[in-house]
Amino acid sequence: MHEMALCEGLIEIIEREARAQNFARVRTVWVEIGALSHVEPEAMRFCFSAVADAGIAAGARFEVVTVPGEAWCMSCAKTVPLAQRAEPCPDCGGYQLQVTAGDELRIKELEVD
């Protein structure tokens, strides 16, 4: 389950920011998870609570903001929605697509004390 390692990385980032910005507790973490990122939001919720149980983010709410997939279609020369990788352009049926959104995993916002 790679979500556990991802959550450990999130906690490291949060702890580093706590030292840099001088906050003592995290109440809520908003994380953007792209629809194409191969990250399971429910697994992230479970792993985050397990990893954060004894640190600065203990008891923090974990909120997921889903970012839809998008790609630039080289044939159509426009941005199109993309539900999963390796699918064709919904407009022209071509496969010359460059993912432009939906593969991210990042901390969007923290509510802290």
For the stretch 1-40, pLDDT in tens is 599 999 999 999 999 999 999 999 999 999 999 999 999 9
Burial 40-51 (b: 16+ CB within 10 A, else e): eeeebbbbbbeb
For the residues 34-53, what does the mean pLDDT come to?
Answer: 95
Query: Taking all residues of the chain, what is their mean pLDDT, rounded to a whole number?
Result: 95
Q: Which CATH class is domain 2-68+102-112?
A: alpha beta
Burial 5-18 (b: 16+ CB within 10 A, else e): ebbeebbeebeebb
Rounded distance between C-alpha atoms, residue 15 and residue 56, angstroms: 7
- The residue ranges of every structural domain in the chain are 2-68+102-112
Q: For the full predicted model, state whether its pTM sits above 0.85.
A: yes
